[in-house]
Amino acid sequence: MSVRKSERLLNLLIMLLVQRHYVPKSRIRSILYPDASDEAFDRMFDRDKDELRSLGVPIEVGQLDPLFDDEPGYRIRPDRFALPPVSLEPDEAAVVGLATRVWEHAKLAEATSEAVRKLTAQGLEVDLAALEIAQPRLSADEPVFDVFWEAVQARQAVVFDYRRTGETTTTRRHLQPWGVARHAGRWYVVGFDVDRGDERVFRLSRVVGDARTVGEPGAYEVPAGTDVRAVARRLAPPPERTRISLLVRPDAGHSLRTGADSIQTGVTGPDGADDWHRVVLTRSPFGMVDEVLAHGADVVVEEPAELQDRVVARLRAALAGFPPAEVTR
C-alpha cells in the first residue's frame, strides 16, 4: 500500500470516528478528495470504504435526517470500533507492540493532526475522545526509525553508517529494507544487504548519524513469504539476560509478576509501608524502562543500578519543562 493511500485511509478513519453524527458524502469529498473528478471520487471512496471494512472497521450508513430522504451519511461508532478485552500470547503481544509504535510514529501523528485540523476548519463538531480507544505504551527513541519505516513503505533503498557491537569504527551500509521488528527489547531493520549480497539485520540504535534514502521508490520487491520477525529472531544476537529486582505495590504490576522467578510479600517499600512485594525476574533489561514507568509510582527498581539510572534519567527528561525538583533513586 502506498504512503499516500495509507494517509488517505487514516484520514477517512479519523474523520468518521471523531464526529458524533453521520457525515454526508459530499462533505467527505470536499475535505478528503477535493481534486478528484466525480467518477474518480466514487471509485476511490468505494474502494477505501471496502478496504477499511475488510480490516474490521464498522462503517455505518444512515440518513442525515430521518424525516427526509436526503443523501446518505457515514460514521464509525467508537463503542463498536473499540476492542473488547483480549488475552495475548507473548509473540502476539509483540505484533501489537509494533502496531502501537506505528500509531505513535511521528508521521502518523502529523496525519492525525492534519485530519482533525481539516475537520475543525470546516466547522464540523469533532469528538477527540474517540481517538483514545487505543493508548499505546510502547515507544522507541531511535531517531532513524522514521527513515527506515518510510523506506519500507516506499520500497526504497537506505544508506547509513553502522557500528557493530564491540567496534569503535563505522562502516557504510546499503540496504533494501523489508521491514522493522522489535526483538528482545530492541528495534531492528531487516532487509537485503546490497554490499554483502544477502539478507541482514541491523539494530537501529547502532546506526550512527543520519540514514537517508537513495534511488527511486518501488526499486525492489520483498521476497514472497518473508517473515520479518522470524528473520530478526534468527539473525539478531541472543538477548542479554540479567537479574532484575523490583518493589511492587500490592495488586499492581501484574504484567511484571508473570514469569517472575520469585515474589516476596511483606517487604518494606520506599514509603515506609511494609506491604510491598519484591518481584525478582531474569530477562533482558531492554524495554524495562518503558514497562516500569507505565506503572507510575507503583513500581520501584531495586537493581540493577543501570536500570535505576535509566528510569531516573527518563523521569528527569520528563520533568525538564517543569520547575526544578529533586529526583532521587
Q: For the chain, what are the domain ranges?
A: 3-133, 145-235, 242-318
Distances from the Cα of 151 to the Cα of 94, 96, 115, 173, angstroms: 22, 21, 23, 15
Q: Cis check for the bond before 239: say yes or no (omega within 30 of 0).
A: no
Local structure of 278: helix, strand or coil: strand
pLDDT tens per residue, range 136-173: 444 455 788 889 988 998 999 999 999 987 788 999 99
Select from 69, 219, 65, 89 the least CA-distant residue to 156: 219
Cα–Cα distance measured from residue 185 to residue 288, given in angstroms and rounded to the nearest whole number = 8
pLDDT of residue 127: 54
Residue count of the chain, please give it. Answer: 329
Cα–Cα distance measured from residue 131 to residue 103, given in angstroms and rounded to the nearest whole number = 11
Long-range pairs for 114-118: beta carbons < 8 A, 24 or more residues apart = 114/11, 115/10, 115/11, 115/14, 115/15, 116/14, 116/18, 118/11, 118/15, 118/31, 118/32
Mean pLDDT of 82-111: 49
| Phi then psi dihedrals of residue 214, to 5 deg | -135, 155
Local structure of 20: helix, strand or coil: coil
Residue 132 burial (CB count, 10 A): 10
Select from 176, 122, 184 the least CA-distant residue to 148: 176
pLDDT of residue 119: 55
**CATH class given for the domain over 145-235:** mainly beta
pLDDT tens per residue, range 268-308: 999 999 999 999 998 877 678 878 888 888 999 999 998 89
Residue 329 burial (CB count, 10 A): 12
Check if the beta carbon of residue 274 is closer than 8 Å to that of residue 287: no
pLDDT of residue 142: 72
